[in-house]
Amino acid sequence: MSEIPPTDEARLIRPEVVTSLLDENNLVLPDDQINDFRVLLSALDEAAQHMLSFDDYQPTVDLEKYPRTDIHVPEDTCGGGWATKAVVTCTQPTSSLLAGRTIALKDNIALAGVRCTNGTTAVDWTPVVDATVAMRVLDAGATITGKASCENGCFGGVSDTSCTGPVENPWAAGYSTGGSSSGSGRLVAAGAVDMALGCDQGGSIRLPAANCGLVGHKPTWGLVPYTGIISLEATIDHVGPMTKNVADCALLMDVLAGADGMDDRVPMMVKPGTFDFVKEVNETLAKGKPLAGLKIGILAEGFMSSRMDLGVEKLVRSAAVKFAEYGASVLSVSIPLHTESAPTWMCALPIAGMRQGLLGDLTGRKQLFMTDRISMASPKLTQVAFDANGPGGQSIYLRGRFLEQKYGLELHARAMNLMRKLAEEYDKALETYDVLVMPTAPMLTQKTATAAEKKEKGMGPLALLNRNLGVTHNTAPFDFSGHPALSLPVGLASPVDDPDVKLPVGMQIVGRQYEDLVCMQVAAVWEKENDWKSLYAGDM
């Protein structure tokens, strides 16, 4: 292909192509400059066609090294937890860290040859690549046994929005696991797999973990590669472990952490294979006063949600003060701006989330582009795609368009700057305290509703979306700030209107950036000294 712009008439685009482009964008050019832009755009068009003549450059999956069999949609979904089942292994693992362990991947994580629904029918996609985290668990000797259901577009906090069907809480039929990593929470808690990977942009690892009695860890932003995973919004994308205990969480983090050379979220100096979370946690547990010298701050504003449940508050406060028995100093800390995170988050997410999560616009990023899925995207949602996204995706789309058209990009910029201010407030508090603790969710999980029940009750978008109000009060701020945040089960409580039901409660432990280890150490000590299943808020 010549680098010289074409000048012969046969190779030039028509003048009306330039004038139409100007008209569509409310622009004008002097007539004597139209031909210049015919030449410039024609050269660009030839370059584009030349580029598209090359084969796409994607990582090649070695199916002999990573064989996959028995790919199918199961009849028995384990209470809605499974989206698709498969058996995927590595014939030449580089370590035995996860040998004998079974793992489920949230259904927004690419696994070549296995459908990836992202909880929605808006896009029909079967990946040709494996996500970095999938390859890492396989290289460590694990067996991936399938894809775990997730909420529609990963926008739901109640587990009845997925295109694969509702996901039931293993502790109580008819109750939600939370979302959006709903299937991951269900499968681990029900014993269908040893571990699972979830993704978290507002609490989607930690909330299902809290609701299902699991340990769920949202790593520091930029510690675990997001390569090969459907993005909701790059500045809040996290992938991490959902496990039965802290030891498994630390083990999985040893495998997952570190740069892969493709994801621009992860600094290249964060080297994979250089972490030893398991060893460090075990050394902490072996000490007489394992938390001696640590300062733990109970975040006052973490208990100030309008939907704060008394049982949740009792359990988390009781769990937090026990840290003093293990050598830590435990004091209250106030960060007033924490209560402003919800409206800030509400304004910061829609424009970027609409473009990246719904329209697949990842321009400006340095990462692996899954071009087969991107080719299905369009500058605007079609009516079919809009309908398929359900109230959560529809809300993000319309809110994004509304804010974009009424306020432009300044509102998004201001909201992001305020989130940075909030992150600095957390950093300031963490100069004094080693970790901050608070409820993972201020309330217990709620009941799900079938499609028929939603219709019978006349539940429109407002009623359906209002179920999520306040749920992310303590989780979403740390997606934007990027601090590591771990949810630890600390007891059981009963809904006010359903006293015979007992549901898990999670305590969130938040640490300094890249000090994920400290979160795990603090959680592991509490876990070792307490049987959380025997702690019931009704007895307090």
Cis peptide preceding 180, ω within 30 of 0: yes
| Residues 523/528/529/531 CA torsion (nearest 10 deg) | 100
Phi, psi of 506 (to 5 degrees): -110, 145
Maximal CA-CA distance, the chain: 87
Structure-token pair, residue 347: 């304004």
Which pair of structure tokens corresponds to residue 407? Answer: 């306020």
Element (H, E) at 20: helix 15-24
Decide: 495 and 503 in contact? Cβ < 8 Å: yes
Residues 6+ apart with CB under 8 A from 69: 86, 87
Question: Using an 8 Å Cβ cutoff, are 141 and 160 in contact?
Answer: no
Are the C-beta atoms of residues 260 and 270 closer than 8 Å to each other? no
Q: Which of 215, 250, 214 minimizes the C-alpha distance to 503?
A: 214
From 106, 218, 447, 502, the catalytic residue: 106
Catalytic residue among 182, 204, 231, 487: 204
- Are the C-beta atoms of residues 448 and 519 closer than 8 Å to each other? no
- Residue 481 is a catalytic residue: no
Q: Rounded distance, CA 395 to CA 469, Å?
A: 14
Q: Determine whether 322 is an active site residue.
A: no
Known catalytic residue at 53: no
Residues 6 or more apart whose CB falls under 8 angstroms from that of 348 comprise 412, 415, 416, 418, 419, 480
The sign of the dihedral angle between the CA atoms of 275, 277, 283, 287 is: positive
Vertex 444 angle, CA 442 and 450, to 5°: 130
Say which residues have a Cβ less than 8 Å from residue 145's Cβ, sequence separation at least 6.
85, 86, 87, 88, 102, 103, 104, 193
Q: How many residues does the chain have?
A: 540
Question: 3-state class of 480 per DSSP?
Answer: helix
177, 406 Cβ separation under 8 angstroms:
no
The label of the residue with tokens 């989780």 reads 475
Q: Which two tokens stand for residue 282?
A: 């075990």
| Rg, C-alpha atoms of the chain | 24
Residue 314 sits at φ, ψ, to 5 deg, of -55, -50
Quick one: tokens of 99? 């040998």
Choosing from 180, 341, 481, 487, the catalytic residue is: 180
Catalytically active residues, by annotation: 106, 180, 204
